[in-house]
Amino acid sequence: MAGEDTAALIRQPDAPKRATLLELLLDVVYVAALALISMRLASDVTWLGGVRVLVLLMAIWWIWSITALLTDFYNPEQLRIQLVVAWAMLGSVVMTAAIPHAFIDHGWLFAGMYVAIHVGRGIMLVSLLRGHEAQARATRFLVWFVVSGTAWIAGAFLPNPLRLLLWGIALMIDYIGGALRYPSPRLGRVPLAQYDKGSEHLGERYQQFIILALGDIILVPVLQNDGRGFTAGRLGGLLLAFATMLLLWHIYVYRAGAFLQVAITKRPGRATRWAPYTHLLMVAGIVSTAAGFELVINGNRTRAGLGWVLVVVGGPTLFLIGRTIFEYEIFGRFSWSRLLWVLVLVGLTPLVASRPLILAASVTGAALLGVGLSDAVRAKGRPSPVERSEQP
């Protein structure tokens, strides 16, 4: 039997829903990581460069997602859980520093820290929870991360493209394992009831991360300023980046920002399981959008080219797709107006490829404004998610 000391590690239903200061500090590390990934994409706008960026992003995102799930299931006010979070933070700092060289000469550092974060966390939790029923949950996670860790470490010592291939396989193991609820020998899967423990705290964590990540749309092009100052074109690009950031924020938090909070409250198990995957699309969209505005503001092409336009247009498109899928999975409601605007963006992409890149960014911004107006028209006269949740 587990003692009261061990049981205190599990979050109680009446625990505070607000994120701790340590969790907010953790987010700052990941905002820096996303900024570096955006810069990497802007410096290598090729199909291979895009795949590499996707692998780096998926690795960084999975660490954050699992840590958010950890602090929602366990009590983040407990010192021992805070040490687990601090371990993830330290490893993430090292991984972030290794991002520019992950596919060159520091692959072992990036992969090694990824594995150390997950496996180290699992070992610590299995040890801390000895005698408690939650130990089985930690063990399931640990088993899967040991399996994927083998591919991560092996890939780190192989040349490209084998490194990219093995890391991609490792990520598929991680993401599929999460989707299947980490089935393990003799232990089975994580019970659905444990996902139903998802609270408003988890919804708040995702909202906080998205809001902080949106700041990279301004941060990345400003950090990459090469010292040439701001021409009228550059200033216009910065203002357009600011407008795009606000529009994406509005689309995400539209209707009092209650969308995700209500989803977690009304259908916690489904929301908890789907949020990491749909939000990955939104985060990828933010990364691409930030890279796109770095190209808009600091690029020196008179004609954009299809690759650059795909970065600029593809970012908001991915964001819209992720937001739409998540809404459908939670509420069973599909936004056809958003799909229409996605089709408009896809259709216009080849038409603006031979034009200045700021035209593609302007067209994309206009489409996002259209999404916001369409949402307002569609929702006119309907109760908000908060109002619907309060109805008997």
- Residue 301: the pLDDT is 65
How far is it, in rounded angstroms, from Cα 323 to Cα 335? 10
- Residue 379: the pLDDT is 67
Q: How confident is the model at residue 27 (pLDDT cuts 50, 70, 90)?
A: very high
Q: How confident is the model at residue 376 (pLDDT cuts 50, 70, 90)?
A: confident
Token pair recorded at residue 81: 């859980």
How far is it, in rounded angstroms, from Cα 152 to Cα 96? 16
- Residue 57: the pLDDT is 98
Residue 389: pLDDT above 50? no
How far is it, in rounded angstroms, from Cα 338 to Cα 193? 33
- Residue 390: the pLDDT is 46
Percentage of residues in the chain with pLDDT exceeding 90?
Answer: 57
- Mean of the pLDDT values across residues 188-204? 78
- Residue 321: the pLDDT is 93
- Mean of the pLDDT values across residues 354-377? 89
Handedness of CA 158, 164, 166, 167 (dihedral sign): positive
Q: How confident is the model at residue 374 (pLDDT cuts 50, 70, 90)?
A: confident
SS (H, E, C) the chain: CCCHHHHCCECCCCCCCCCCHHHHHHHHHHHHHHHHHHHHHHHCCCHHHHHHHHHHHHHHHHHHHHHHHHHHHECCCCHHHHHHHHHHHHHHHHHHHHHHHCCCCCHHHHHHHHHHHHHHHHHHHHHHCCCCCCHHHHHHHHHHHHHHHHHHHHHHCCCCCHHHHHHHHHHHHHHHHHHCCCCECCCECCCHHHHCCCCHHHHHHHHHHHHHHHCHHHHHHHHCCCCCCCCHHHHHHHHHHHHHHHHHHHHHHCCCCCHHHHHHHHCHHHHHHHHHHHHHHHHHHHHHHHHHHHHHHHCCCCCCCHHHHHHHHHHHHHHHHHHHHHHHHHHCCCCHHHHHHHHHHHHHCHHHCCCCHHHHHHHHHHHHHHHHHHHHHHHCCCCCHHHHHHCC
Tell me the Cα Rg of the chain.
21
Q: Full-prediction pTM beyond 0.85?
A: yes
8, 316, 357 from 341: Cα distances, Å:
49, 11, 20
323, 272 Cβ separation under 8 angstroms: no
- Residue 201: the pLDDT is 80
Q: How confident is the model at residue 353 (pLDDT cuts 50, 70, 90)?
A: confident
Nearest to 166 by CA among 99, 98, 96, 111: 111
- Mean of the pLDDT values across residues 44-72? 95
Q: What is the pLDDT of residues 288-329, one digit of tens each?
A: 999 999 999 887 666 668 888 999 999 999 999 998 888 887
Residue 191: pLDDT above 90? no
Best-predicted range by mean pLDDT (2-6, 194-198, 269-273, 309-313)? 309-313
Which residues are within 8 A (CB) of 330 and not within 5 positions of it... i.e. 6 or more apart? 263, 266, 267, 270, 271, 274
Mean model confidence pLDDT for the chain: 87
Residue 227: pLDDT above 70? no
Nearest to 310 by CA among 276, 352, 265, 338: 352
How far is it, in rounded angstroms, from Cα 146 to Cα 153? 10
84, 125 Cβ separation under 8 angstroms: yes
Q: Which domains does the chain have, with CATH numbers?
A: 11-195 (no CATH), 200-378 (1.20.1410)
Q: What is the pLDDT of residues 235-248, one digit of tens each?
A: 888 999 999 999 99
Which residues are within 8 A (CB) of 43 and not within 5 positions of it... i.e. 6 or more apart? 49
Q: What is the pLDDT of residues 79-134, one digit of tens each?
A: 999 999 999 999 999 999 999 999 998 899 999 999 999 999 999 999 999 888 88
How far is it, in rounded angstroms, from Cα 251 to Cα 37? 23
- Residue 267: the pLDDT is 61
Of 139-148, 258-267, 306-315, 353-362, the range with the lowest mean pLDDT is: 258-267
